[in-house]
Amino acid sequence: MKKTILAFVFALLPALSVASGAGVHLDKADIDLSNQQSMQRGARLFMNYCLSCHSAQYQRYNRMARDIGLTDTQVIDNLMFASDKVGETMTVAMRPEDAEKWFGATPPDLTLAARSRGVDWLYTYLRTFYADDSRPTGANNLVFDKVGMPNILWQLQGIQKPVYAETEDGHKHIERLELVKEGSMTPAEFDQSVRDLVNFMAYIAEPVKLERQRIGWWVLGFLVILFVFAYLLKKEYWKDVH
């Protein structure tokens, strides 16, 4: 049994070393799921920039409306571009076969992206696209090298170029990104907009998270009280033994 466990651990070591060696510093997203205004702004960005290619097929429009403080009418008038009914899920009109022909692969569903990748990963990823003429889309990414997705937010952020530094052994690496063409937002405004977008994506990944946490405190309180009674009952049962 011990040999089996050791073999499993050693088998994982190469994968772990690759993951750590290719790691990029991730900036903190600092999202707040209780901030409905932030999620409303994030929902607008998601519908305008993400939902044209990516779906969120496990989230319904009317559920989203209720949770982020909007009415069904507001959602229908301002956020619904791919569905006819407010009770439908967030799907895209683009057919999978067309997406594969145009992009080489079908864009993944984003419902659980914040849980699978992490909010810090998403926040850093969306802010670290840079110009790269060697790529078919003209853009690359610090977090996801040779990414197939274009920089869909470039009009808001502007265009960044990499600034390289050379190591002692002569290898070049990207030291930082430099804004060479301004977008419609300042860097601070763009960072806040991406934070809003990631906040919304974190919500659709787990809409019941705040409720789960709220109930969790009540459960912990109940267990503390139960422990007191269980301890007293145990003492009563065992008092003659001791």
What is the CATH classification number for the domain harbouring 106?
Answer: 1.10.760.10
Residue 94 lies in a domain: yes
Domain range enclosing 205: 31-235
- pLDDT tens string 163-179: 988 877 778 888 899 99
Confidence of residue 19 (pLDDT cuts 50, 70, 90): very low
Report the largest interatomic distance among the alpha carbons of the chain, rounded to a whole angstrom: 83
140: left (phi over 0), alpha (psi -120 to 50) or beta: beta
pTM: 0.81
Please give the sequence-ordered ranges of beta strands (E in DSSP) within the chain, or none if there are none: 56-60, 89-90, 129-131, 139-141, 158-166, 172-182
Residue 4 lies in a domain: no
Total domain count, the chain: 1
End-to-end alpha carbon distance in the chain = 41
The chain-wide mean pLDDT, for the chain, equals 87
Q: How far apart are CA 219 and CA 211, in angstroms?
A: 12
Residue 70 lies in a domain: yes
Residue 11 lies in a domain: no
Residue 92 lies in a domain: yes
Residue 124 confidence (pLDDT) above 60: yes
Residue 119 lies in a domain: yes
- Residue 57's nearest CA partner among 111, 95, 105 is 111
| 211 CB-near residues (< 8 Å, 6+ apart) | none
Residue 19 lies in a domain: no
Angle 124-128-134 from CA coordinates, rounded to 5°: 140
- pLDDT tens string 47-73: 999 998 899 999 999 999 999 999 999
Residue 5 lies in a domain: no
